[in-house]
Amino acid sequence: MLQLNYIRDNKEDVLKRLATKNFKDAETIINKVIELDNTRRATQKDGDAIKAEANVIAKQIGELMKAGKKEEAEIQKGKTADLKLREKNLDEALKSIEEDIQNLLVQVPNTPSTKVPAGKTPEDNEVVNEQGTKPELHAAAVPHWELTTKYNLIDFELGVKLTGPGFPVYKGKGARLQRALINYFLDKATAAGYLEIQPPIMVNEDSAYATGQLPDKEGQMYHAQIDNFYLIPTAEVPITNIYRDVILKESDFPVKNCGYTPCFRREAGSYGKDVRGLNRLHQFDKIEIVQITHPDKSYDTLEEMREYVASILKELELPFRTLKLCGGDMSFASALTYDMEVWSAAQKRWLEVSSVSNFETFQTNRLKCRFKGADGKTQLAHSLNGSALALPRIVASLLENNQTPEGIKIPKVLVPYTGFEIIN
């Protein structure tokens, strides 16, 4: 959520930047917000004046009672009835105006950083770099959904029986590979200075709201209605919410947390080759990295996180490319996002495995995650997060890219974790 004062002070700039995100109703909503805020201030001023008056009278009554002047006190009491009524009306008006402002503000996406390329579709994303070499597969090479069946690694049909489509069952070396990747990713993150967190995988409404899943993405989360809990779509939600209503010290920066969790996404309306095999699932595993930083440092941090993710992909010997997302393809909350995509050699397409974003104050404003600066002032921190990494598409490309007539070779760095060098 954007800061109201920032919008007031930088209206033209905010509108200009929202335009690169192709947000249509920007001007209407922002004008309305500013107008409501003016009304809010005036209303509060009136209300405060009445409250001040009532406070003075109440104090006088106290003194009169103490002095035994009961009759004079009664006279003063008579004055308050009208004040109370006006106070109540103004308080109600204020509450309703504040709600209106809030309802409008949550509709406004984050303003993109000035570094964000213009554009509307994924084709407009800027390719920052491409690293590694795409493998030449042998003649009999097949996509991963055939490999998982051939080597009995993943049973998609069994998942349908137990739960439904998009809930695969991993078996034997398939299950072991999952566990190996999780441990490898967590060890890497820990070595890079991230504190490992094992959070709940269900969150309450407050948490879902604070990181922006609610109100707009309600349909994308699984909802346990009896207890009003939401299954998390990413570890970002519980981990970032650790810092809800927290005032950090400047010396706490940078806050670096990582966590492994299953992630749950309803992903309504998806179909075709995009969802085949491991390409898109309702339940999948992901290691998330989160940082909270000083506003001056967040873009350096973003680059650091991007390089960190790249370093893992290099170790895994996967060809990948880095995209800087254009305005139209960015998420609602992001100010700047890099997507990392690995090459899936049998599908012959790029698969997104990580998305690294700087949210600036967009998340921390809703979270009320602040810090006390050197000047003693309390201000909003910046938040960033990224996947490091999501498992299914990594597994897909590992299986496809490393297939040989003898079997699927495991990258060297993973062997200590899997305990085997080849799947055959």
Partner RNA sequence: GGAGAAAUGGCAGAGUGGUCGAUUGCGGCAGUCUUGAAAACUGUUGAGGGUCAUACCUCCGGGGGUUCGAAUCCCUCUUUCUCCGCCA
Contact footprint for RNA (CB under 7 A)? 5, 41, 44-45, 47-49, 51-52, 54-55, 57-59, 61-62, 65-66, 77, 80, 84, 247, 370, 372, 378
Which of 36, 147 has the CB closer to RNA?
36
In whole angstroms, the minimum distance from the beta carbon of 82 to RNA comes to 11
Q: Which residue has the tokens 């397409």?
A: 349
Which of 25, 206 has the CB closer to RNA?
206
Which of 65, 142 has the CB closer to RNA?
65
Angle at the Cα of 383 (from 224 to 341), degrees rounded to 5?
80
Which of 10, 44 has the CB closer to RNA?
44
With a CB cutoff of 8 Å and minimum separation 6, the contacts of 68 are none
In whole angstroms, the minimum distance from the beta carbon of 237 to RNA comes to 19
Closest among 348, 347, 56, 329 to 339, alpha carbons compared: 329
Which of 48, 300 has the CB closer to RNA?
48
With a CB cutoff of 8 Å and minimum separation 6, the contacts of 6 are 14
Which of 61, 208 has the CB closer to RNA?
61
Q: Which residue has the tokens 């897909």?
A: 396
Q: How far is CA 56 from the centre of its chain?
A: 48
Which of 61, 147 has the CB closer to RNA?
61
Closest among 37, 41, 35, 46 to 89, alpha carbons compared: 46
Cβ atoms of 387 and 288 closer than 8 Å: yes
In whole angstroms, the minimum distance from the beta carbon of 345 to RNA comes to 43
Q: Measured between alpha carbons, how far is 291 from 356 in angstroms, rounded to an integer? A: 11
In whole angstroms, the minimum distance from the beta carbon of 54 to RNA comes to 6
Which of 44, 404 has the CB closer to RNA?
44
Q: Measured between alpha carbons, how far is 234 from 232 in angstroms, rounded to an integer? A: 5
Cβ atoms of 180 and 418 closer than 8 Å: yes
Which of 88, 273 has the CB closer to RNA?
88
Which of 258, 292 has the CB closer to RNA?
292
In whole angstroms, the minimum distance from the beta carbon of 86 to RNA comes to 12
In whole angstroms, the minimum distance from the beta carbon of 58 to RNA comes to 4
In whole angstroms, the minimum distance from the beta carbon of 63 to RNA comes to 8
Beta-strand relationship, 336-344 and 349-360:
antiparallel
In whole angstroms, the minimum distance from the beta carbon of 337 to RNA comes to 28
Residues in the chain: 424
**310 SS3 class:** helix
Which of 269, 376 has the CB closer to RNA?
376
Whether the CA torsion 147, 150, 153, 157 is positive or negative: it is positive
In whole angstroms, the minimum distance from the beta carbon of 122 to RNA comes to 38
Q: Measured between alpha carbons, how far is 75 from 413 in angstroms, rounded to an integer? A: 85
Cβ atoms of 105 and 361 closer than 8 Å: no
How many C-beta atoms lie closer than 10 Å to residue 295's C-beta?
Answer: 15
In whole angstroms, the minimum distance from the beta carbon of 192 to RNA comes to 28
φ/ψ of residue 360, rounded to 5: 50, -125
Closest among 281, 246, 261 to 372, alpha carbons compared: 246
Q: How far is CA 230 from the centre of its chain?
A: 15
φ/ψ of residue 141, rounded to 5: -65, 145
In whole angstroms, the minimum distance from the beta carbon of 62 to RNA comes to 3
Q: Measured between alpha carbons, how far is 44 from 117 in angstroms, rounded to an integer? A: 42
